[in-house]
Amino acid sequence: MPLLQPASFLRYRLIRHLLPLSSSVPFHRRAANTIFFSTARRHTPNKNLLKARNVIKDLPSLSRFLSPEQNLNLLPDQATGFVAASQANFMRVIVDSVGDSDSGGRVGTHLLCVVRALLKKIRRRVLVGDRVLVGWVDWVDGRGMVFDVFERKTELIDPPVANVDHFLVLFSVEQPKLEPFTLTRFLVEAESTGIPLTLVLNKCELASEETLSAWKDRLCTWGYEPLFCSVESKSGLTFLEDILKGRTTVVVGPSGVGKSSLINFLRSDQHIEEISDIYGEGVKWLGDQRVAEVSKKSGQGRHTTRHVSLLPLVGGGYVADTPGFNQPSLLKVTKKTLAEAFPELRQMLRDSEPASCSFSDCLHVGEPGCVVKGDWERYPYYLQLLDEIKIREQIQLRTFGTKREGDVRYKVGDMGIIQPEPRLEPKKHRRISRKRLNQSILDELDEIDEDWDEIAR
């Protein structure tokens, strides 16, 4: 004879004495009525909860992004600023406005912040360079929490930086040796963002004049005017300092080309006392960046910069030192936009006007009626990148499909006002519905009835 499991028998003992004893009503009907009346009970709202609801009405709602022109009524424990450094789960935020009337001594201070859990749930990433809203600020210990992010002007994937208005593509002529295809990948990645860029070639003291002249003529045919410099001999850097003034510049390039050394030189004439007064004392990320020599075994650079950080310049503006990587991802480049990342190809299309390609979706790979010829130097690189992007798009189409949901959904509230609210990940952060919970309880009660019927037999 089958026996009841201990857990099922215990649930039966707990629920059975709460149900009516009328035998005319089935057992599971009586259980459903009891559950309905128990869940329908309403408690009077707590006064503290009502007070908190009124306070939340004054705070900005979590929309897609906060507007830069939006006037925020900041509370005494709130502030706004921009993210200057990121490491693990911590953000270094420089304060630019606070909610307290006594804001003179707090503007310009740095806060060590964590990111709000809700931002992680809706998969909103906080990047270096973002202007953010910080809440629960502890001004004594310099701590806080990032509540929301303002709308970005620009956004980069490799490296992950926001609100950048200038690209500095840095390569070395020697040690490591300049490779045309690697340089092309970095230039295509920079061109795809639409941000103005400057191409700089470092370590010119290691190359001859003939080599430098050959590279200059070669890059001019590509559509670029390179700037030659040498951090070791301090040559060609004055003009570069004038270019970086008043801009937020991100320095990209392979490992070992001298990015950290260049940034250390650009910030070598800064007064330490002035930085300490503005940004606070004891801030390690404001110091010199680590440098290392090129590996003699592999001939490539060593990774010394591991995190993205914005470093202030005396002449105004910021420079972002980023980890070196040898293969940019090109995630924002599609097979239709790849041609726009090659200046010489754009020039060919302009020179052929008013004539144009016969097909609007022409990829310039020998289609009938294409005005682009294959007699330019980087055409093999273009074909190789095009094949790579085609394979990546096919994999993405098979893996993710064509539908992509946003991180925010819009709900029509009272008086027809559209209110944004975060879209949570499906089946992960939703609680079980009351109907489903009641049904699971009824199913267990039915199983108990069946077990008792077998025992009675």
Boundaries of every domain in the chain: 1-61+407-457, 79-149, 166-321, 339-400
> How many CA atoms lie within 13 Å of 69's alpha carbon, on the beta-carbon side?
0
Token pair recorded at residue 302:
């060593």
| Tokens linked to 119 | 């931002």
Domain 339-400 sits in CATH 3.90.550: no
Residue 446 has, within 13 A of its CA and on its CB side, a CA count of: 8
**What is the phi/psi pair of residue 205, to 5°?**
-70, -15
Q: Per-residue pLDDT averaged across 369-387, rounded?
A: 93
* Average pLDDT across the chain, whole number: 76
Q: Which residue in 243, 241, 254 sits closest to 172, CA to CA?
A: 254
- Whole-Å CA distances, 127 to 160, 308, 434: 6, 9, 39
Q: For the domain bounded by 166-321, which CATH number is listed?
A: 3.40.50.300
Q: How far is it, in rounded angstroms, from Cα 207 to Cα 48?
A: 73
Q: What is the pLDDT of residue 326?
A: 66
pLDDT of residue 134: 93
Q: Is the pLDDT of residue 48 over 50?
A: yes
Angstrom distance (rounded) from CA 387 to CA 393 = 10
Structure token digits, residue 165: 């208005």
- Alpha-carbon gap, residue 175 to 276, rounded angstroms: 36
8 Å CB contact between 146 and 112: no
Cα 335–chain centre separation: 23
The first and second tokens of residue 60, run together, are 């900005």
How far, in Å, CA of 188 to CA of 335, rounded? 12
Topology (CATH level 3) of domain 79-149:
OB fold (Dihydrolipoamide Acetyltransferase, E2P) (2.40.50)
CA distance linking residue 185 with residue 252, whole number of Å: 12
170-184 burial, b at 16+ Cβ within 10 Å, e below that, comes to bbbbbbbebeeebbb
* Phi, psi of 454, rounded to the nearest 5 degrees: -70, -35
Give dist(CA 153, CA 385) in Å, integer: 28
Residues 134 and 113 sit within 8 Å (Cβ to Cβ): yes
How much is the pLDDT for 170?
93
Provide the pLDDT for residue 281.
41
Q: Beta partners for 72? A: none
- Per-residue burial over 75-86, b = 16 or more CB atoms within 10 Å of its CB, e = otherwise: beebbbbbbbbb
Q: Do domains 166-321 and 339-400 have the same CATH topology?
A: no
CA end-to-end span of the chain: 9
Render pLDDT for 272-318 as a digit per residue (tens, 0 to 9): 433 433 344 444 445 444 444 544 444 444 444 557 888 888 778 88
Q: What is the pLDDT of residue 299?
A: 44
Which has the minimum average pLDDT: 135-144, 181-190, 295-304, 330-339?
Answer: 295-304
What is the torsion angle, in degrees rounded to the nearest 10, for the CA atoms of residue 135, residue 141, residue 142 and residue 143? -40
Residue 366's alpha-carbon distances to 79, 303, 357, 363, 422, in angstroms, are 57, 41, 11, 8, 47
The CA-atom distances, in angstroms, between 137 and each of 85, 100, 104, 106, 278 are: 18, 11, 16, 11, 19
pLDDT of residue 314: 77
Buried b (16+ CB within 10 A) or exposed e, 105-129: ebeebbbebebbeebeebebebbbb
The per-residue pLDDT for range 189-241, each reduced to its tens digit, is 999 989 999 999 999 999 999 999 999 999 999 999 999 999 888 888 888 88
Count of C-beta atoms within a 10 Å radius of residue 219: 17
pLDDT of residue 444: 75
- Asked which of 50-54, 186-190, 417-421, 449-453 is least confident by mean pLDDT, the reply is 50-54
| Residue where the block lists tokens 């003034």 | 245
Lowest-confidence region among 27-36, 115-124, 331-340: 27-36
Measured distance CA(454)–CA(437) in Å, rounded: 26
What's the CA gap between 330 and 112, in Å, rounded? Answer: 32
- Classify residue 257 by burial, with Cβ atoms within 10 Å: 0-12, 13-18, 19+: buried
C-beta separation of 186 from 169 below 8 A: yes
Asked whether the beta carbons of 279 and 110 are under 8 A apart, the reply is yes
